[in-house]
Amino acid sequence: MELWLKEGQIEDAVMTYKIKETLVRRMTPYQDLAIVDTYAFGRMLVLDGIVQTTIKDEYVYHEMITHIPLFTHPNPKKVLVVGGGDGGAIREILKHPSVEKAVLCEIDGCVIEECKKHLPEISYALDNPRCEVFVGDGIKYVHEHKNEFDVIIVDSTDPFGAAEGLFGGSFYKEIFDCLTEDGIFVAQTETPFYLPDVVKKVYKDAKAVFPITKLFMAAIPTYPSGYWSFTIGSKKYDPESVKVDLPEDMKLKYYTAKLHNACFTLPKFIEDIIR
Amino acid sequence: MELWLKEGQIEDAVMTYKIKETLVRRMTPYQDLAIVDTYAFGRMLVLDGIVQTTIKDEYVYHEMITHIPLFTHPNPKKVLVVGGGDGGAIREILKHPSVEKAVLCEIDGCVIEECKKHLPEISYALDNPRCEVFVGDGIKYVHEHKNEFDVIIVDSTDPFGAAEGLFGGSFYKEIFDCLTEDGIFVAQTETPFYLPDVVKKVYKDAKAVFPITKLFMAAIPTYPSGYWSFTIGSKKYDPESVKVDLPEDMKLKYYTAKLHNACFTLPKFIEDIIR
């Protein structure tokens, strides 16, 4: 018998993964959660049928969503991750010695629990004393904390269902107020190949709130089309022009100082989407 | 009844496309050729079960494999395409007014014939008077033409079966001799996510022949992992540092003057592969 996972995000172009075993499958109060072990990408977190992160390629997403804002800010001390219950963003954030506290605000405690059990390589930093885990609504958390974080990372699922409120102008205004006066915000914002309208709207909404708004791209094989966008909003520092001095002992696999600048250079069709 | 194409290149991570209809399916002397109409990417050329090009995303591959070398060379007059029977590379090459002659050397005449019939948006330039179509073996053609082409583009299938001889040091030496004294060569060289050993070998082989060898990347949703490498070998001009003045009327969808330079900035894991 062969078991295959069919990825659910794009209807007519479906990625499928051959599976060794299903490690966990449960309905949480928020979503259909599964962790499966695949032949091609190792263990994989799947929420509502959509691949969130895998052992083999998670480094791309987690390095790019964290190190771009954290190396843009000259001295990030307090960082907030909204979503990101797998802990991968926290792991990368804590590689920055300047960071005194990294708060994870994840709405679904079951994601944290199962990732701690089945994806320890990704989640281990959640137990670090510099990390504070808060299970609750990110929108409420951001609303209740003003002028507090140097960097806010929105590491959410797709903008349908549970995470819908995390995409859009009213949330970005709350994020602006939750940031310190030179703070930086970044979010994963889907693929311009399949969802150009989402990319366009998020960029426009962020641009209406932040003085500096940029889009950057990364290659992630297990996300639809393999090419993913991130939107960054900054109050003071321009992420594209900063010169990064990357510590040699950080041992990253995707991010480099030179790529920090180059990832903002967009193909023409994406320039057109956000124009 | 639903028809789906399962892409055959990677065994345990299989891309599938829902199909409207099969326009042609035949065994040629060289391969299993199909052109199918898909919901997600429109009409699609499939050789030996592997997607070669699609109406919706072909622009990325064809723009990047041609404009990078052609804008690097200051005055390309004669250009050779080895493979590329769909005609997409020829279409882009002929956008350069300096080009007097573009030769297509494709081993499988059936590819040309069927692409002319079913993919006219891609193949139309094959009838241009500046294009010369030659059906035959690329290795033989290159061997028999010395010091003739300013740019040679190897637009081949994967390095298994028919195209195997188009990857490797002995062919690159022949290409070197087929180029003029300031000539440039480029080839599609697979994805570093799934086939790092191919990328490594091709780069090493090219580097042993050409004074300047570089790798650049492009995002192609219908190729495995969505992230594709191209290897460029140059006798004189450095493709990464050239400043491109892109004519406004060229109307490209992926390539930009700024991306010409940025696409050579590699993620760390690819830097490590070719080190």
For B216-226, how does the pLDDT look when each residue is reduced to its tens digit (9 = 90+)? Answer: 999 999 999 99
Q: How far is CA B144 from the centre of its chain?
A: 22
Q: Any residues with CB less than 8 A from the CB of B270 and at least 6 apart, and which?
A: B192, B199, B215, B217, B229
Select the more confidently predicted residue: B160 or B54.
B54
B8 has a pLDDT exceeding 80: no
pLDDT category of residue B248 using cuts at 50, 70 and 90? confident
Per DSSP, helices labelled H in chain B are 58-72, 88-93, 109-118, 120-123, 138-144, 169-178, 196-207, 257-262, 268-274
Predicted pLDDT of residue A10: 83
Looking only at the bridges linking them, the beta strands covering B42-47 and B32-38 are antiparallel
Tell me the percentage of chain A whose pLDDT exceeds 70: 100
Give every residue of chain A whose pLDDT is below 70, as ranges: none
Residue A184 vs residues A79, A203, B95: alpha-carbon distances, Å: 10, 15, 42
Hey, of A2, A5, A6, A16, which one would you mutate to test binding to chain B, going by the most B CBs within 10 A of its CB? A16
B209 has a pLDDT exceeding 90: yes
Residues of B with Cβ-Cβ distance to A271 under 8 angstroms: 256
Q: In CATH, what class is B3-54? A: mainly beta
Predicted pLDDT of residue B158: 82
Average pLDDT, chain B: 96
- A residues 131..160 contacting B (CB < 8 A): none
Backbone angles phi, psi at B137, to 5 degrees: -80, 120
Predicted pLDDT of residue A164: 82
Residues of A with Cβ-Cβ distance to B262 under 8 angstroms: 262, 265
User: Which whole number is the average pLDDT over B233-245?
Assistant: 97
Give the nearest chain A residue to B39 (CA atoms). Answer: A12
Predicted pLDDT of residue B131: 98
Distance between CA A156 and CA B104 in Å, rounded? 48
Q: How far is CA B269 from the centre of its chain?
A: 23
Domain ranges of chain A: 3-54, 58-274
Tell me the percentage of chain B whose pLDDT exceeds 90: 92
Q: Which residue has the tokens 């966990």?
A: A24
Residue A160 vs residues A53, A110, A124, A139, A230: alpha-carbon distances, Å: 18, 19, 29, 16, 17
Predicted pLDDT of residue B128: 98
Q: Any residues with CB less than 8 A from the CB of A251 and at least 6 apart, and which?
A: none
The fold adopted by the segment(s) B58-274 is Rossmann fold (3.40.50)
Distance between CA A241 and CA A216 in Å, rounded? 13
Answer whether B259's CB lies under 8 Å from A258's CB.
no
Q: Which of B84, B185, B165 is nearest to B131 (CA)?
A: B84
pLDDT category of residue B160 using cuts at 50, 70 and 90? confident
Q: Any residues with CB less than 8 A from the CB of B84 and at least 6 apart, and which?
A: B90, B104, B106, B153, B155
B161 has a pLDDT exceeding 80: no
Q: Which of A57, A155, A182, A249 is catalytic?
A: A155
* Cβ–Cβ gap A39/B12 under 8 Å: yes
Predicted pLDDT of residue B116: 98
